[in-house]
């Protein structure tokens, strides 16, 4: 049993630090630029990634004082899914809610969720900056669309989602600390 947990947490540690830290800084810089231009951060995901989107958007708003929203309201999801098809609801939500100075953060463990990929394509058409978080295949469709693409080399949903959340929150904490040191 202890071997399982030793290996599990060692794997998280390795995957967590297996990224170019410049991506974190560049993400923070883009987010601050969006904030200065009175834009907002829109964070979207499915399932566990939707829970991350909620947590992250609340922390952007409350802790970092950066306007942020997510699309986790059941009425919105079911209405747009019913009217436009599940694969198109993010696309349509961005059409209705995204403005020219906004930033889109899209989270998909597999990087293949059609609704998230279609949302990325909509954001690209709108010329909005896109930050993606994915896992599974390095060549997943979502990863090919974003401006900054975070990727976890794993096929394990819980591992990927744990790392995505940690990376997202580290960006927020960096912004908070950076802003506090500036003021």
- Residue 182 confidence (pLDDT) above 90: no
pLDDT of residue 80: 97
Name the pairing type of β-strands 41-45 and 68-70.
Answer: parallel
Q: What angle do CA 143, 53, 24 make, to 5 degrees?
A: 55
pLDDT of residue 117: 98
What integer is the mean pLDDT of 21-38?
97
pLDDT of residue 25: 97
Name the pairing type of β-strands 103-108 and 148-151.
Answer: unpaired
Which of 107, 97, 104 minimizes the C-alpha distance to 133?
A: 107
For the chain, domains (ranges, CATH) are 2-182 (3.40.50.10490)
Neighbour tally for 102: CB within 10 Å: 22
In the chain, % of residues over pLDDT 90? 96
Q: Could you tell me if 68 and 42 are in contact, meaning their C-beta atoms sit under 8 angstroms apart?
A: yes
Question: Considering the entire predicted model, what is its pTM?
Answer: 0.96
Tens of pLDDT, residue by residue over 59-106, are: 999 999 999 999 999 999 999 999 999 999 999 999 999 999 999 999
- Exposure class string for 115-149: b at 16+ Cβ within 10 A, else e: bbbbbbbbbeeeebbbbbbbbbeeebbbbebbbbb
What integer is the mean pLDDT of 107-119?
98
Distances in Å between the Cα of 36 and the Cα atoms of 12, 128, 155 are 34, 15, 37
């Amino acid at each position: 049993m202890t071997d399982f947990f030793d290996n599990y947490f060692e794997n998280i540690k390795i995957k967590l630090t297996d990224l170019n830290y410049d991506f974190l800084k560049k993400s923070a810089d883009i987010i601050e630029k969006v904030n200065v231009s009175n834009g907002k951060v829109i964070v979207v995901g499915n399932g566990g990634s939707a829970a991350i989107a909620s947590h992250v958007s609340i922390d952007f708003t409350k802790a970092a004082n950066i306007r942020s929203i997510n699309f986790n309201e059941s009425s919105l999801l079911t209405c747009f899914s019913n009217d436009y098809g599940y694969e198109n609801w993010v696309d349509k939500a961005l059409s209705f809610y995204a403005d020219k100075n906004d930033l889109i953060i899209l989270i998909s463990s597999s990087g293949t969720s059609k609704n998230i990929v279609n949302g990325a394509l909509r954001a690209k058409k709108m010329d909005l900056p896109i930050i993606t978080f994915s896992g599974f295949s390095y060549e997943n469709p979502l990863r090919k669309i974003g401006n900054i693409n975070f990727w976890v080399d794993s096929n394990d949903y819980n591992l990927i989602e744990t790392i995505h959340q940690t990376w997202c929150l580290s960006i927020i904490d960096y912004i908070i600390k950076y802003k506090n040191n500036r003021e």
